[in-house]
């Protein structure tokens, strides 16, 4: 029999998994966080004097910059934001972004996209902000940035190149996983942001563990759990005891 006075209230806040180089402070641009395969002219650079001028790069000659994330928190959708700096004579060659080897962006720009800000004064430069939403299978994710530049003989990084900044990965639709056994195994009951259809449901088993990501608050209260004292949880709980059949209340 369910406990009528018991409840679980879930607050989904802005769930940032990772962010890098979102200011113009050199210490905030951690280029060592990335694996770089290919040719780089430097590790950090600047373009112009306007805000958001600091960047990681420049790169070219089909360089691949990647970062792998493990144990991605429960979610139904991820959002990746990045600012791609286009330098000089991009000849409609394109620039790809991949999530677990699935292409999620093909950015094509021309020689005259942007304004003359830095480097080669013959061509234009542009900071292109991108926001990409996607789903993954499993809990591991590799984001990969790759250019198709410098394909013509005689081209170098001063002729065409790229850089990036404002690298942010967040949970676009975060979830909380409730499990019937400790250590996140057994029967799963999942509640995600926006699932009003589950508001009046009861979790159909005794909760033994809770898995959640950053920016999520789970509030629980029951006379059989912590002596009925309201608990506010902000991190995953690998093993709980004596708490069952809570009523769920959702709050954005």
Asked whether residue 3 carries a pLDDT value surpassing 50, the answer given is: no
The answer on pLDDT for 71 being more than 50 is: yes
pLDDT value, residue 244: 47
| Per-residue pLDDT tens over the stretch 14-37 | 899 999 999 999 999 999 999 999
**In a shared domain, residues 184 and 157:** no
pLDDT band at 1 (very low <50, low <70, confident <90, very high): very low
Three-state secondary structure call for residue 1: coil
Give yes or no for residue 5 having a pLDDT over 50: no
Are 131 and 43 contained in the same domain? yes
51 and 166 co-located in one domain: yes
Predicted pLDDT of residue 121: 82
pTM of the predicted protein model: 0.85
Same domain, 43 and 67: yes
3-state secondary structure 101-131: CEEEEEECCCCCCCECCCCCCCCCEEEEEEE
What is the per-residue pLDDT for 220? Answer: 80
Q: Is residue 1 part of a domain?
A: no
CA distance 189 to 204: 8
Q: Is 2 inside any structural domain?
A: no
pLDDT higher for 199 or 31?
31
With beta carbons less than 8 A apart as the criterion, state whether 87 and 47 touch. Answer: yes
- What range defines the domain where residue 108 resides? 16-172
pLDDT-based confidence at 8, cuts 50/70/90? confident
Tally of domains in the chain? 2
Q: What percent of the chain has pLDDT over 70?
A: 85
Asked whether residue 108 is domain-assigned, the answer is yes
My answer on whether 181 and 235 are in the same domain is: yes
**What's the token pair of residue 211?**
């898995």
One domain, residues 166 and 191 = no
183 and 103 assigned to the same domain: no
The total number of residues shown for the chain amounts to 252
Average the pLDDT over 4-13 and give the result: 71
**Based on the domain organization, do 76 and 179 belong to the same domain?**
no
Q: Give dist(CA 142, CA 139) in Å, integer.
A: 10
Q: Bigger pLDDT: 152 or 81?
A: 81
90-94 long-range contacts, CB within 8 A, separation 24+: 90/149, 90/160, 91/152, 91/160, 93/147, 93/148, 93/149, 93/151, 93/160, 94/148
Would the pLDDT of 4 be above 60?
no
In a domain, 85, yes or no: yes
pLDDT attached to residue 156: 78
Per-residue model confidence (pLDDT) at position 140: 97
Residues 70 and 127 in one domain: yes
| Domain finish residue from 143, 172, 201 | 172
Write the CATH number for 55.
2.60.120.1320
Q: Are residues 66 and 128 in the same domain?
A: yes
Check residue 2 and give its pLDDT.
39
Average pLDDT, the chain: 86
Non-local CB neighbours of 114 within 8 Å, separated by 6+ positions: 86, 124, 125, 126
Same domain, 155 and 194: no
- Domain stop point among 172, 201, 227: 172
Whether residues 178 and 216 share a domain: the answer is yes
Given a cut of 90, is residue 247 above it in pLDDT? no
Among 172, 205, 220, residue at a domain's last position: 172
């Amino acid at each position: 029999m369910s406990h009528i006075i018991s409840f679980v209230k879930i607050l989904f806040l802005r769930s940032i998994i990772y962010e890098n180089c979102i200011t113009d402070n050199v210490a905030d641009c951690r280029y060592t966080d990335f694996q770089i395969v290919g040719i780089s002219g430097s590790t950090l650079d600047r373009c112009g004097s306007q805000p958001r001028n600091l960047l990681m790069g420049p790169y070219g000659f089909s360089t691949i910059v990647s970062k792998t994330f493990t144990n991605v928190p429960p979610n139904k959708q991820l959002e990746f934001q990045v600012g791609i700096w286009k330098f000089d004579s991009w000849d409609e060659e394109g620039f790809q972004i991949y999530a677990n080897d699935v292409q999620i962006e093909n950015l094509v720009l021309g020689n005259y996209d942007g304004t003359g800000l830095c480097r080669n004064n013959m061509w234009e430069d542009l900071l292109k902000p991108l926001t990409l939403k996607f789903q993954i299978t499993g809990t591991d994710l590799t984001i990969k940035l790759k250019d198709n530049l410098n394909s013509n003989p005689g081209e170098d990084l001063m002729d065409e190149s790229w850089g990036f900044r404002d690298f942010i990965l967040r949970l676009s639709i975060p979830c909380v996983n409730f499990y019937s056994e400790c250590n996140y195994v057994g029967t799963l009951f999942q509640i995600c942001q926006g699932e009003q259809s589950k508001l009046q449901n009861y979790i159909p088993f005794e909760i033994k563990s809770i898995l959640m990501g950053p920016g999520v608050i789970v509030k629980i209260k029951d006379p059989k759990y912590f002596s009925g004292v309201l608990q506010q949880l902000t991190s995953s709980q690998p093993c709980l005891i004596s708490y069952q059949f809570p009523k769920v209340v959702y709050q954005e």
